């Protein structure tokens, strides 16, 4: 499926997987709306896409704010492709130190924010009779993973459940959803770990541009095909092999 003439809305687009997804979709011909909390990063990313010959505009947004999500969605109009990439975690992630406010922050962004964006685009997709929703979850949303913590794991497992229900209910309306579950990707969120990985370790991980290519592939899949779930990991998979920085909740 060509992306020419399509409108893609990407959250968490200021850096990491979100920015790489926006760049890849724009390179494929889509007009891309970039959303995220940091306006300066969004502006820089949109400008970089423009310099590369793509079409992009920045709409700052905290996806945890439902009313703000609804305002942005109404302003940008019907969306063909939604990429939910906004996500956070907290250094205080283990039960011995987790606090309610940290739980709220993670779940409101990762799960509630994803839900708000889906709710905002579904009416327009139903009216068109087509649409692709790509939800970025995590290896920790597919397999029990100890070092990512309770709030992150719970929120990312929830993203997988959301995705499945979209395909159950909205396939009859031509709407498809894919949950992408990456292992370690060299993005800024890794710096929120209790012990961040080294630059050498991050060089061995899946890179943001790898995820951008995967997300573009999902978006370009023919309308009669659903990629329900894609699990991605580095070849040098430290979730199996271990790493000095993978601190456990001991």
d(CA 9, CA 80) in angstroms, rounded, equals 8
Number of neighbouring beta carbons within 10 Å of residue 62: 15
Residue that wins the pLDDT comparison between 216 and 247: 216
The tokens describing 40, both together, are 């300066």
Domain for residue 219, yes or no? yes
Task: Give tens-digit pLDDT for 53-62.
Answer: 999 999 999 9
116 is catalytic: no
Domain for residue 134, yes or no? yes
Domain for residue 248, yes or no? no
Task: Give tens-digit pLDDT for 52-101.
Answer: 999 999 999 999 999 999 999 999 999 999 999 999 999 999 999 999 99
Domain for residue 27, yes or no? yes
Looking at residue 194, its pLDDT comes to: 82
Domain for residue 96, yes or no? yes
**Mean predicted lDDT score pLDDT of the chain:** 96
DSSP H helices, 77-149, are 100-107, 114-128
Looking at residue 247, its pLDDT comes to: 62
Task: Give tens-digit pLDDT for 95-150.
Answer: 999 999 999 999 999 999 999 999 999 999 999 999 999 999 999 999 999 989 99
Domain for residue 1, yes or no? no
Number of compact structural domains in the chain? 1
Domain for residue 250, yes or no? no
Nearest to 122 by CA among 112, 110, 133: 133
Residue 119 belongs to domain spanning: 7-241
Taking 80 as the threshold, does the pLDDT of residue 249 lie above it? no
Q: Of 116, 143, 152, 240, which is the active-site residue? A: 152
Domain for residue 223, yes or no? yes
Give pTM, 2 decimals: 0.95
Kindly give, in sequence order, each residue whose CB lies less than 8 Å from that of residue 16, ignoring residues fewer than 6 positions away: 85, 185, 187, 188, 189, 208
Q: What is the CATH number of the domain that holds 74?
A: 3.40.50.720
């Amino acid at each position: 499926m060509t992306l020419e003439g399509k409108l893609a809305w990407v959250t968490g687009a200021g850096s990491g997987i979100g920015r790489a997804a926006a760049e890849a979709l724009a390179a494929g011909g889509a007009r891309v709306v970039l959303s995220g909390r940091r306006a300066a990063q969004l502006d820089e990313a949109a400008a970089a896409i423009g310099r590369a010959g793509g079409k992009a505009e920045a709409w700052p947004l905290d996806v945890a704010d439902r009313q703000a999500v609804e305002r942005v969605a109404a302003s940008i109009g019907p969306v063909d492709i939604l990429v939910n990439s906004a996500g956070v975690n907290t250094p205080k992630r283990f039960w011995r130190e987790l606090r309610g406010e940290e739980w709220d922050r993670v779940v409101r962004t990762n799960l509630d924010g994803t839900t708000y964006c889906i709710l905002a685009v579904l009416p327009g997709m139903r009216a068109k009779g087509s649409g692709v929703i790509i939800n970025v979850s995590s290896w920790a949303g597919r397999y029990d993973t100890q070092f990512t913590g309770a709030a992150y794991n719970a929120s990312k497992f929830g993203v997988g459940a959301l995705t499945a229900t979209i395909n159950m209910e909205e396939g009859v309306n031509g709407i498809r959803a894919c949950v992408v579950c990456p292992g370690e990707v060299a993005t800024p969120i890794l710096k929120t770990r209790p012990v961040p990985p080294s630059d050498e370790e991050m060089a061995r991980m899946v890179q943001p541009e790898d995820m951008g290519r995967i997300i573009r592939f999902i978006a370009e899949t023919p309308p009669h095909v659903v990629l329900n779930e894609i699990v991605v990991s580095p070849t040098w998979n430290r979730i199996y092999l271990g790493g000095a920085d993978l601190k456990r909740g001991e």
